[in-house]
Amino acid sequence: MTTAPTVMKREFTMFSALSVAFAFVSPIVAVYSVLGVGLATSGPAFIWGGMILFAGQFIVVLTLGVLASKWADSGGIYQWSRRLLGHRYGWFASWTYIWTLLITLPAVAYAGAVLIPPIFDVPAAGHELVTWLAVGMLAFSTLVNLAGRVFIKILMVTVIIAEAVGSIGVAIWLLFFERHQGLEYLSPESLGEYSGAFFSAPLVMAIAFSSYFAIGFESASSIAEEVKRPKRAVPRAMVVSFFAIMIIVLLSTLAFTLAVPSDAFLQDPDNAADPAVAIIAATFPEPVFRAILALFVVAFAASLMTIQITVSRIVWATARNGELPFARFLTRLSGVTGLPRRAVIVTAIIAALLFLPFQSEGIQMALISFSSVGFFISFLFPVLGIAVARMRGRWSDDPTLFLGRAGKAVGSLALIWLVFQIVNVAWPRESGAGWASDWSTVLGIAAIGLLGIGVEAWVHRKRLFAASTGSTIVVFERDESADDEDEGDDEGRVRERRGDGLAAARES
């Protein structure tokens, strides 16, 4: 009888981690998801909000990179928070991140499914059809994740090709051959004067609505235990993927904005809802238009798959510490290389059940709004944790870590930025759809928080009972020595090659 593995095999490289982070929120998904609302609320100068967002998020990337260079655990945000400020703090970080990802899964699947009917010339596809197509995309993503890491790597290469054509190729074509506006069209003066509430100012709203541009880089840390030399590879993958997404997103946003034929074009409700698709439809012949939409669907499918990878790993990592219901069931790995297939299936089922509220457009928007602010709250847990650990003298900015001693200053700036952005994204702006819609993000945060308090209280009682009986709720402990084994092997091989070279020199 074969014993089930307890450790996942390290089959991912730095490029794999980079690809996961890149595909999590691909430039195609980012631009398509927020360009319409950005242009509607802030006009052509929306791109300036994106630039400010990337500047703020870059500080967050660097801060999380410091933590990734110290601890190479699956489920990075949860593990960093737990190690910094204890089990209870880490548990709430995990709870927030898990629900953020679970809610993002149906949101991304639905947005991608909207693009499928036009590919097959199905006019005016109903809400029910799009929902079933979204469920189908989720099922496909689940099958790929269950199949193994080889299939994941293949899809990663596919999405990079799709991005090269669908993002970079289309953007360059629009800039060279379909540019209807000059650079003055992007002038910050187009934002106009504003005298209302600070968080309702056009530029501030542009920063909030472009939030989806700069998330997902942290997903590289969620597969750290499956990556070779993770303490070096994961921080680098996070930074490189962040810059790749930033460059392509800003290029695409610039291209689509300058390709807007006129102000009247955006006043059409259909064009305003999906300006990127409307511009492509007006620019390219029908067969090319459909092919580009197909590339968009590939990007959405890859994003869906990497989000599911991330949430399944953090569920598995949290369960491994005995801090979720049915922990032993969720922690069990399967396959020769050790895959958390049970965690994949459970997260897929929960995400599929979340499609039921999607029958209501109002609830759909509430879920999407919560997922946006949920990422920033999730980032806040480890960033605040490292700040508190520094104040308590429990953290040393080791020069060997990513950023070295510069980590303290960068971490302080990241904390200030995240607090601002959480308030900015969650701010109840008037939408015309009623108070419930305006306050949906705050209500969603409160609901998930209250549910989390109840579940964590149960977990905490279980932890106290285990301590009183001299037992433990941890399913199994991770052997961290494997994190540096590959690096040690590499150094040994380098020393061996140097020794061979010196010996050969002496002989000659």
- Distance between alpha carbon 32 and the CA centroid of its chain, in Å? 16
111 or 435: which carries more pLDDT confidence?
Answer: 111
The span from the CA of 115 to the CA of 247, in Å, is 24
- Residue 326 pLDDT: 82
Q: Is 107 part of any domain?
A: yes
Average pLDDT over residues 155-173: 82
Tallying the residues shown for the chain, one arrives at 508
The answer as to whether 483 is a domain residue is: no
Question: d(Cα 17, Cα 230) in Å, to the nearest integer?
Answer: 9
Query: Is the pLDDT reported for residue 343 higher than 50?
Result: yes
Confidence of residue 348 (pLDDT cuts 50, 70, 90): very high
pLDDT band at 357 (very low <50, low <70, confident <90, very high): low
Residue 386 sits at φ, ψ, to 5 deg, of: -70, -30
Most confident of 3-12, 314-323, 488-497: 314-323
Asked whether residue 508 carries a pLDDT value surpassing 60, the answer given is: no
Task: Please give the pLDDT value at position 397.
Answer: 77
Confidence of residue 499 (pLDDT cuts 50, 70, 90): very low
Residue 507: pLDDT band by 50, 70, 90 thresholds?
very low
| Residue whose C-alpha is closest to residue 218's, from 60, 14, 403 | 60
Q: Can you give the CATH number for the domain in which 461 is found?
A: 1.20.1740.10
Residues 16 and 236: their CA atoms lie apart, in Å, by: 12
Per residue in 450-467, pLDDT (tens digit) is: 999 998 888 888 888 877
Q: DSSP for 86-114?
A: -HHHHHHHHHHHHHHHHHHHHHHHHHHHT
Count of domains in the chain?
A: 1
Q: Which two three-digit tokens encode residue 371?
A: 């997922």
Q: Answer yes or no: is 369 within a domain.
A: yes
Query: Would you state the structure tokens that stand for residue 321, as one six-digit string?
Result: 């510490």
Report yes or no on 302 lying in a domain: yes
Q: If you count DSSP H runs as helices and E runs as strands, how many of each does the chain have, helices first? A: 23, 0
What is the mean predicted confidence (pLDDT) over 128-142? 90
Over residues 265-294, the pLDDT tens digits come to: 888 887 887 888 889 998 999 999 999 999
Question: Residue 356: is its pLDDT beyond 80?
Answer: no
pLDDT tens digit sequence for 469-491 = 877 777 656 666 666 655 544 44
Over residues 278-334, the pLDDT tens digits come to: 899 989 999 999 999 998 898 888 889 889 988 998 998 888 888 888 888 888 888
Residue 6 has pLDDT above 80, yes or no: no
Query: What average pLDDT does the chain have?
Result: 82
Q: Please give the Cα distance from 317 to 311 (Å, whole number).
A: 10
Determine, yes or no, domain membership for 4.
no
Average pLDDT over residues 422-439: 77
- Asked whether residue 24 is domain-assigned, the answer is yes
> DSSP code of 163?
H
Highest mean pLDDT among 147-151, 352-356, 399-403, 434-438 belongs to 352-356
Contacts of 504 (CB under 8 A, 6+ apart): none
Residues 6+ apart with CB under 8 A from 489: none
The percent of residues above 90 in pLDDT, for the chain, comes to 25
- Taking residues 391-396, report their average pLDDT: 87
Residue 256's pLDDT is: 92
Does the residue 503 lie in any domain?
no
Question: In a 10 Å sphere around its CB, with 0-12 CB exposed, 13-18 middle and 19+ buried, how is residue 493 labelled?
Answer: exposed
**Measured between alpha carbons, how far is residue 44 from residues 187, 207, 213 in Å?**
8, 13, 16
pLDDT at residue 110 in the model? 87
Strand partners, 450: none
Higher pLDDT pick, 39 / 479: 39
Q: Dihedral of the CA atoms 463, 468, 469, 474 (nearest 10)?
A: 20
- The whole-model pTM stands at 0.87
pLDDT at 384: 95
* φ, ψ for residue 333, nearest 5 deg: -100, 155
Q: Angle 361-391/76-85 helices, nearest 10 degrees?
A: 40
pLDDT at 495: 40
Q: Is residue 492 part of a domain?
A: no
Residues 233-250 have a mean pLDDT of 89
Structure tokens at 128: 């029910």
Copy the structure tokens of residue 500: 């061979």
Phi, psi dihedrals of residue 248, rounded to the nearest 5°: -70, -40
Q: How far apart are CA 269 and CA 279, in angstroms?
A: 14
341 lies in which domain range? 14-427+436-477
